[in-house]
Amino acid sequence: MATRSAEEYKTGLNDGRALFFKGNRVEDVTRHPDLGVGMEHASLDFALAEDAAYQDLMTVKIPETGETISRYFVSPTNTGDLLKRREMIETSTRLGGGVVLLIKEIGTDALFALSLVAKRIDEQYGTDYLKRVEAYHQHCQQEDLSMAVAQTDVKGDRSLAPSEQTHPDYYVRVVEERADGIVVRGAKAHTTCAPYVDEIIVLPTRNLTEQDKNYAVAFAVPANAPGLKMIVSPFGASSSSDFHNPVSSHHRMIESLTIFDDVFVPRERVFMSGEWDFAGGLATTFVQFHRFTAISYKPPLCDLLTGAAALIAEHNGISRASHVREKLMHLINYAETVRALSKAAAVDCVQIDEVAIPNSILTNVAKFYFASNYHQMVSYVQDIAGGLVVTGPSEEDVTNPETRDYIEKYLGGAAGVPTLERLKLVNLIRDLTASDFGGYNELLAIHAEGSLEAQKITIYREYDLERCKSLAKQAAGIGDNA
Ligand SMILES: Cc1cc2nc3c(=O)[nH]c(=O)nc-3n(C[C@H](O)[C@H](O)[C@H](O)COP(=O)(O)OP(=O)(O)OC[C@H]3O[C@@H](n4cnc5c(N)ncnc54)[C@H](O)[C@@H]3O)c2cc1C
């Protein structure tokens, strides 16, 4: 098996995994009305791989074996591979209502990072991690598995190191070494798609010192591993009404608090255990790939916001107003800057061990620009759309014969625009910007793939300031260049 159908993916999820949602144990995620929305959305990944229109983009044929595999598993070796990967992510997100699918994107980001760092660890410590990572990569590729990445620990007091916390389990750690593997304890927060993937890949989240050796751990387990428990978040779901929430009733991601209650990890699935001096490097190498994924999936949402704003301006008869044009220009500028920077990050990649790593400065600049301007862009859309976004009538009143005609008469807009279409557009804008899902999008923009400060630190640390300083010295006629 090298590619699976959407049905095969979904069937495989009914495996006894320990999920809890709103106070209840979820017996079968595939039949759950709320979690099922996330699963159906994610299953688009498999559907596209089978769709003649997208097969060439979503899959590749391995020349040696003739086998077709998901393109996500291809380690990028050059700019062309990275551009294809970003196109695949942007396209599947656009087809998914502007919501990234994220059941292979993030997992393969982790696999690429693990292979680069495992080699370094092996060179220093004589371990055999690279062999294990490669075998695991092959396994996921061959079985066409979906993966979540649990990197962000719950962290307790952010100013303290893992071993300085009030209890030792605020970061995932090794609690027992066995001949055939390790036992891990702790919890990771915000694990996207974890309730409906096959595998959970765990990575360290920060730099560590020797004192925190036991927290330097990376591994992979199936989502139904004994002791693995997920408390699933209900937030970000607005309603199941297609009318009220045209996007989020079909397309959304779901996160979990992912708890490792003494989970055994067999030796062959352990990719780091105790090599504290590589924990920070693994965390940042993963982030290099994952922020590139981020800036590849952001443009469709930007386009959706721009399109909705342009349409509602027409529906309200204000599309010629200069302030509206200016706001639309900002929205276009925003979307195209993120898109262009993501392409530039692929073009200006660096190659290490035959793996192409997206340009770090450009990737972080793009992610920071997107995140720090998102709320402003939402405010432009809301400004153009007007208050009806949060005061409009319900689906029930639109269909009730007693109220329908009033709504039809009084909530019309520019001549020729059917009232119902105008209301649907207003609902789209509420769904994207002012619903539970809209709020989720705002938090996603700021924190997912690392908070704003994380990008600032990377940009400052990695930028070649010396080049600029030397130019300034030359212009000023000081120092060596005088
Ligand atoms: C929708 C969503 C999906 C996500 N998906 C995933 C996922 O799939 N896998 C995964 O592993 N993670 C995921 N994340 C986690 C994401 O990477 C984190 O939210 C992000 O790194 C911030 O961590 P935090 O939420 O713990 O916030 P905090 O780290 O508590 O950050 C809050 C504030 O505290 C500041 N801060 C934190 N520590 C310090 C310090 N030592 N000194 C000074 N200031 C500090 C931060 O800069 C920020 O301003 C997701 C997050 C969201 C919102």
Phi, psi at residue 401, to the nearest 5°? -60, -25
Domain boundary among 247, 276, 305: 276
Are 313 and 228 in the same domain? no
350 in ligand 1 pocket by Cβ < 6 Å? no
- Count CB neighbours of 443 within 10 A: 12
- pLDDT, tens only, 336-392: 999 999 999 999 999 999 999 999 999 999 999 999 999 999 999 999 999 999 999
Number of domains in the chain: 2
- On average, the pLDDT of the chain sits at 97
- Its domain, for residue 46, covers 6-276
Query: Parallel, antiparallel, or unpaired: how do β-strands 147-150 and 199-202 relate?
Result: parallel
For residue 476, being part of any structural domain is answered with: no
Strand partners, 153: 188
Atom of ligand 1 nearest to the CA of 203: 11
88 in ligand 1 pocket by Cβ < 6 Å? no
153 in ligand 1 pocket by Cβ < 6 Å? no
- pLDDT, tens only, 1-41: 689 999 999 999 999 999 999 999 999 999 999 999 999 99
Chain-centre distance of CA 199, in angstroms?
A: 16
CATH code assigned at 382: 1.20.140.10
Please give the distance, rounded to the nearest whole angstrom, from the Cα atom of residue 11 to the centre of ligand 1. 33
Q: What is the pLDDT of residue 268?
A: 98
For residue 1, being part of any structural domain is answered with: no
Is 151 in contact with 190 (CB distance < 8 Å)?
Answer: no
Would you place residue 163 in the very low, low, confident or very high pLDDT band (cuts 50, 70, 90)? very high
CATH code assigned at 177: 2.40.110.10
Q: What is the pLDDT of residue 482?
A: 61
- Which amino acid is it at 153? D
Please give the distance, rounded to the nearest whole angstrom, from the Cα atom of residue 154 to the centre of ligand 1. 9
Would you place residue 479 in the very low, low, confident or very high pLDDT band (cuts 50, 70, 90)? confident
Best CA proximity match to 256, nearest among 201, 204, 187: 187
DSSP 62-115: -TTT--EEEGGGSPP-SHHHHHHHHHHHHHHHHHTTT----SSHHHHHHHHHHH
Tokens of 166: 């009030």
In this prediction, residues 433-462 reach a mean pLDDT of 97
Are 299 and 156 in the same domain? no
Phi, psi at residue 257, to the nearest 5°? -85, 120
In this prediction, residues 269-280 reach a mean pLDDT of 98
Q: What is the pTM of this model?
A: 0.97
197 in ligand 1 pocket by Cβ < 6 Å? no
Atom of ligand 1 nearest to the CA of 450: 21
Q: What is the pLDDT of residue 217?
A: 98
For residue 475, being part of any structural domain is answered with: no
Atom of ligand 1 nearest to the CA of 453: 47
Are 287 and 390 in the same domain? yes
Are 87 and 62 in the same domain? yes
152 in ligand 1 pocket by Cβ < 6 Å? yes
Which CA distances in Å does 97 have to 303, 311, 369? Answer: 11, 17, 22
For residue 480, being part of any structural domain is answered with: no
Domain boundary among 259, 276, 293: 276
For residue 40, being part of any structural domain is answered with: yes
Are 208 and 306 in the same domain? no
Is 170 in contact with 154 (CB distance < 8 Å)?
Answer: yes
Best CA proximity match to 214, nearest among 174, 179, 182: 174
List the residue whose alpha carbon is closest to atom 7 of ligand 1: 191
For residue 344, being part of any structural domain is answered with: yes
Please give the distance, rounded to the nearest whole angstrom, from the Cα atom of residue 375 to the centre of ligand 1. 18
Please give the distance, rounded to the nearest whole angstrom, from the Cα atom of residue 437 to the centre of ligand 1. 19
Strand partners, 197: none
Are 183 and 250 in the same domain? yes
Contacts of 145 (CB under 8 A, 6+ apart): 107, 139, 197, 198, 199
Are 327 and 361 in the same domain? yes
What b-and-e string marks burial along 197-223, b requiring 16 or more CB atoms within 10 Å of the CB?
bbbbbbbbbbebeeebbbbbbbbbbeb
For residue 478, being part of any structural domain is answered with: no
For residue 235, being part of any structural domain is answered with: yes
Are 15 and 70 in the same domain? yes
Task: Look at residue 191 and give its three-state secondary structure.
Answer: strand
Are 289 and 172 in the same domain? no
Atom of ligand 1 nearest to the CA of 155: 26
Please give the distance, rounded to the nearest whole angstrom, from the Cα atom of residue 152 to the centre of ligand 1. 7
Task: Look at residue 172 and give its three-state secondary structure.
Answer: coil
- pLDDT, tens only, 61-120: 998 889 999 999 999 999 999 999 999 999 999 999 999 999 999 999 999 999 999 999
Please give the distance, rounded to the nearest whole angstrom, from the Cα atom of residue 453 to the centre of ligand 1. 10
- Which amino acid is it at 286? F
Best CA proximity match to 153, nearest among 187, 183, 192, 199: 187
Q: What is the pLDDT of residue 236?
A: 92
List the residue whose alpha carbon is closest to atom 31 of ligand 1: 451
List the residue whose alpha carbon is closest to atom 38 of ligand 1: 158
- Count CB neighbours of 152 within 10 A: 17
Are 342 and 455 in the same domain? yes
Instruction: Report the residue among 147, 152, 157 best suited for mutation to probe ligand 1: largest number of ligand atoms under 8 A from its CB.
Output: 152
List the residue whose alpha carbon is closest to atom 19 of ligand 1: 447
Would you put residue 281 in left (φ > 0), alpha (ψ -120 to 50) or beta? alpha
List the residue whose alpha carbon is closest to atom 25 of ligand 1: 447
Distance CA 42, CA 50 (A): 14
149 in ligand 1 pocket by Cβ < 6 Å? yes
Best CA proximity match to 253, nearest among 34, 12, 33: 34
Please give the distance, rounded to the nearest whole angstrom, from the Cα atom of residue 20 to the centre of ligand 1. 23
Would you place residue 481 in the very low, low, confident or very high pLDDT band (cuts 50, 70, 90)? low
Are 264 and 294 in the same domain? no
- pLDDT, tens only, 35-61: 999 999 999 999 999 999 999 999 999
Is residue 280 classed exposed, middle or buried when 0-12, 13-18 and 19+ CB atoms within 10 A define those classes?
A: middle
Over its C-alpha atoms, the chain yields an Rg (Å, rounded) of 24
Half-sphere exposure of 331 (CA within 13 A, CB side): 25
Distance CA 339, CA 373 (A): 14
What b-and-e string marks burial along 450-459, b requiring 16 or more CB atoms within 10 Å of the CB?
beeebbeebb
Are 216 and 329 in the same domain? no
What does DSSP assign to residue 153? B
What does DSSP assign to residue 277? G
Please give the distance, rounded to the nearest whole angstrom, from the Cα atom of residue 454 to the centre of ligand 1. 9
191 in ligand 1 pocket by Cβ < 6 Å? yes
Q: At CA 322, angle to CA 321 and CA 325, rounded to 5?
A: 90
Best CA proximity match to 230, nearest among 82, 16, 4: 16
Domain boundary among 258, 276, 294: 276
Please give the distance, rounded to the nearest whole angstrom, from the Cα atom of residue 153 to the centre of ligand 1. 9
